Structure 1
Amino acid sequence: MNDVYLSIGTNIGEREDNLRLALRLLAEQVTIETVSAVYETAAVGFTNQADFLNIAVHVKTALSPLAMLDVCQAIENELGRVRTIRWGPRVIDLDILLYNNENMNTERLILPHPRMYERAFVLIPLFDVVATQSEQLTKARDIVMQMDANTEGVRHVLQQQSIPSWLK
């Protein structure tokens, strides 16, 4: 089984419900090991939009990296994601951060996620769910240790919950 770490974000509609629906759909395809606490952050890039709720998720799967990407994009499509403005508002966004310790650079997928190390809203939730150590996680941990969540705009809004409570 492969260890995969995902980032999930939403800033349109009932944000917590969007996270819950994405996790339910994800659980139909993979085994969810851990879900982070929920964090709220201001938008990055295109900033004239609502704040995001973000979580990180550790899953186990037999899927290949590209098959996992297909699952993530199918969930986004099912929940109504429309890709119009880069870094714009979205009902749901699922990104693969890490897939085992693999490095990959294709037109469809880059691993580890190329902007992961620049984003407190990704790294802080990620450390709620990390189960293993790797070169990528060590680099990320070193970056997080230098961050101040408050000055990075990451606000803790909901405690970590058990997997069953997310899937209700």
Structure 2
Amino acid sequence: MKTEAALCFGGNLGDPVTAFAAAIEALARHPAVTVLRISSVYRTAPWGKLDQPEFRNMAVMIATDLAAADLLAFCLRIEREQGRERKERWGPRTLDIDLLTYGEAVIDEPGLQVPHPRIAERAFVLAPLAEIAPALVIGDRSASELRDALANDEVRRDDTETARLRNSVAG
């Protein structure tokens, strides 16, 4: 039985939208993963480390037979294939893939925490997640309720980049 999982993509170096499309294609090619829904692309201000370029973010819902740890390992491999170098916390990156939720599982292991421990603090995660899974419950609130509590002007849907992503993934 497949488990639904929510992923968040982010990037601000190179061409994040091309990296997002490559990541979606890699997920779709994996025999144990089905891509269910992809959000729009959002432009977001940097978080944590502020002296860096604006980010692009999006969310992806998948269904998978992979265990959570194996899914995370696969996502980290996709990051590396897209040129991700882990130099500094919250620093610039070509592609970041966070495992936000894995079904209803609560996992707290070294290197793997699900639901992602900072979802409720991050408008740049909640805006795309709530777009594709508004009723997804995180803690005791839905993704859309959490998004509405943090909504701000620093997270904006980018229709041009969204169209480019969808044309790239569909083509």
TM-score by shorter chain over 0.5 = yes
1:125 corresponds to 2:107: no
Q: Are 1:32 and 1:163, in contact at CA under 8 Å, matched by a contact in 2?
A: no
Equivalence for 1:44 = 47
3-state SS, counterpart of residue 120 of structure 2: helix
Alignment-mate amino acid for residue 93 of structure 1: D
- Unaligned 5+ segments in structure 1 are none
Q: Are 2:133 and 2:143, in contact at CA under 8 Å, matched by a contact in 1?
A: no
Structure 1 stretches (4+) deviating beyond 3 angstroms? Answer: 131-137, 159-165
Please state how far the C-alpha of 1:48 moved relative to its aligned partner: 1.1
CA distance 1:27–1:78, shift in 2 (3 Å): same
Counterparts of 1:137 and 1:38, CA distance in 2: 27
Map 1:21-100 → 2, pairs under 5 A: 21-29=22-30, 30-100=33-103
How many residue pairs end up in the alignment? 166
Q: Are 2:119 and 2:125, in contact at CA under 8 Å, matched by a contact in 1?
A: yes
- Unaligned 5+ segments in structure 2 are none
Equivalence for 1:109 = 112
Q: Are 1:81 and 1:90, in contact at CA under 8 Å, matched by a contact in 2?
A: yes
Counterparts of 1:69 and 1:148, CA distance in 2: 28
3-state SS, counterpart of residue 76 of structure 2: helix
Q: Are 2:3 and 2:64, in contact at CA under 8 Å, matched by a contact in 1?
A: yes
Please state how far the C-alpha of 1:133 moved relative to its aligned partner: 4.0
Counterparts of 1:137 and 1:78, CA distance in 2: 36
Alignment-mate amino acid for residue 39 of structure 1: Y
Q: Are 2:134 and 2:143, in contact at CA under 8 Å, matched by a contact in 1?
A: no
Counterparts of 1:2 and 1:57, CA distance in 2: 14
3-state SS, counterpart of residue 146 of structure 1: helix
1:9 corresponds to 2:23: no
Counterparts of 1:49 and 1:145, CA distance in 2: 26
CA distance 1:137–1:31, shift in 2 (3 Å): farther
3-state SS, counterpart of residue 110 of structure 1: strand
Identity %: 34
Across the aligned residues of Structure 1 and Structure 2, the Cα RMSD in angstroms comes to 2.1
